[in-house]
Every structure is written in structure tokens, then in C-alpha cells.
Structure 1
Amino acid sequence: MANIQIIQGDFKEKLELPLAEGLKAGFPSPAEDYSHETIDFNRDMIHNPEATFYGKVEGDSMMEVGICDGDIAVIDRSNEANSGAVVVGCLNGEFTIKFLELRHKKDGYIELRLANKDFKPIKITPEDDFFVWGVVVWTIKHWR
């Protein structure tokens, strides 16, 4: 299962890094194609600083969509959680990261869907202690 450890960020500082454009997934492009633009993670990724948190992913239940153990999720608590969104939910006192599935709401339950064929969806009924804590808006992957 994939749980998540919540980390509060400090989004007030500038965090500008050079941005290389035109990175091809096929044939490499020449170095002259690189741009002198910058990306500022706090400006470009964080739209609601007071409602945004980082979360460190633990586990492999979302690996088939590229959310893996050790990745960092950027979670915005001000976003509405729609069906199909990747959310951080609090289920019986534990944070977890899953797809939210609301199509069974009229039947009295919702589901948390996983992205790993080895796991079945989690059925959430009114008897469960569950709430959506926030919506995942970005993930940051560590490759080394």
C-alpha cells in the first residue's frame, strides 16, 4: 500500500533554477536549443502557498502511474477533489495516496483506487473514518 508522510513547506523564498527547453525524448537536440528561462518551483508549482504541503510517498500501490516509493507529492488542500483525482486521504487515522472514485456515492460508498494490479480498490463506507485531506497537483521523482 502507498502511504504518505506530510511535510510542511516554506514557499516564501524564491527557488529559481535554469530551465532547459526542447528536451527531446527521441533524437537529442543541440545545446544551442537551451533557453535562458528559469523555473521557480514556488512560483510555478505552488498556487496556494498557505494550503500547499509536500508528502513523501511510501509504498508501491500507485507505481503503475509513476508514483513510487520515495517520490514527493505536492498537495494542494484548496483544490476540489473530483472523481478520478489523485488525492491524499486520511483513512482511519492514516494518510494514503490514491485515486478518488465517486461513482458509487449514490450506492452509499466511495472507493479509493490503486494503480497496482496486485491491490484491490478500497471501499469506503459511512462506518469508515475518512476524509480527503488534499489533492495531488504535482509529483517529484528522484532518479538516483
Structure 2
Amino acid sequence: MFVIPIFIEAGITGFESPAAEYTELGISLDELIIRHPNATFIGLASGESMQDVGIFDGDLLVVDRSENVSTGDVIVASYNGTFVCKIIDKTNRLLISASKNYQSVYISEDDDFKLEGVVTSSIRLHKNRAELSRCLPS
């Protein structure tokens, strides 16, 4: 028989919090997801075109301006006056959606295109999304 060693102190009912063993690790989400604080911003994802890479409408995107951009990276860019989140193909000058429901877009010389940064992580809010919306400019 397999025995799980659980030590219960007198006067305590129930079990210790499962998170208690992690309290001494000193994990900071800022340090974990932001490598270059002075070059990083957070944006709000909108739409369904990036769902196949796990980015959903309302997710927070951590975007690092100092990361080197490679083909296949998820990026945020200004494209003809609109901020977009896409997969970049530098060789073929394409902005690729992660959904087959959306066509790739060729970046021509006439387009107003500016790479804003590489998406290094995304955060999905399961509660209090309405509070986040109130914090954003209209």
C-alpha cells in the first residue's frame, strides 16, 4: 500500500494550502514573463485569427520590442494604421493568421508597416475581464 506522508499539527483542521510549499520560491510574474522591462508593453488581443496558436479575443499580449524577429514569430505590428498580431514570414514578406479562415497578407513597399515587437507570452483572464476593459482608454 502506498502511504502519502501528511503531517497534521494539533488544533489544525483540514490540510495545508497546496500553494504553501511555493511561498519561499519568490516567484515574480514580472520577472518570469518580462525579460526587458524597458522595451516591453502589454496589449489586448482582439479577434479570432490567432486562436490556433493559443491567442484568444481578450487575452493580454506581452510584447518585447528588443527581441530579434525571426520567421515564424508571433509579432505585433502597425499595418496601414491598424495594430495587428500575426505570424511573420520575413522571407516572403507575409503576415500570416493562425486560422485557416483568414488569408495571409503580403507586405508591399507601398504599405505603411512598422514592426512593434515580438509576442513573448499571452495571458488569458478568466475573471474580471470587465474590470480590465474599464482600465483601457475608449
1:47 is aligned to 2:35: yes
> Residues of 2 paired with 1:143 and 1:103: CA distance?
37
Shift of 1:33: 9.6
The corresponding residue for 2:57 is: 69
Greater percentage in strand: 1
Contact 1:81 1:132 survives alignment (8 Å): no
1:55-88 Cα distance to aligned partner (Å, 9 max, x none) = 0001111011110000000001111111100000
> Residues of 2 paired with 1:44 and 1:66: CA distance?
19
Change (3 A) 1:33 1:92: same
Greater percentage in helix: 2
Shift of 1:135: 0.6
Normalising by the residue count of structure 2, what TM-score does the alignment of the two structures yield?
0.73
Shift of 1:32: 8.8
Structure (1 or 2) with the larger CA radius of gyration: 2
The corresponding residue for 1:35 is: 22
3-state SS in 1 of match to 2:27: strand
> Residues of 2 paired with 1:119 and 1:53: CA distance?
26
Contact 1:46 1:52 survives alignment (8 Å): yes
1:128 corresponds to which of 106, 111, 126: 111
> Residues of 2 paired with 1:33 and 1:103: CA distance?
49
Equivalent pairs: percent with the same residue?
Answer: 35
Amino acid aligned to 1:122 = V
Shift of 1:34: 4.8
Normalising by the residue count of structure 1, what TM-score does the alignment of the two structures yield?
0.70
Amino acid aligned to 2:114 = F
The corresponding residue for 1:114 is: 97
Shift of 1:116: 1.0
CA RMSD of aligned residues (A): 1.9
> Residues of 1 paired with 2:44 and 2:126: CA distance?
15
3-state SS in 2 of match to 1:136: strand
The corresponding residue for 2:85 is: 97
> Residues of 2 paired with 1:115 and 1:90: CA distance?
18
Amino acid aligned to 2:52 = E
1:90-134 Cα distance to aligned partner (Å, 9 max, x none) = 101111000001222xxxxx0001011110101111111112111
The corresponding residue for 1:78 is: 66
> Residues of 1 paired with 2:115 and 2:104: CA distance?
16
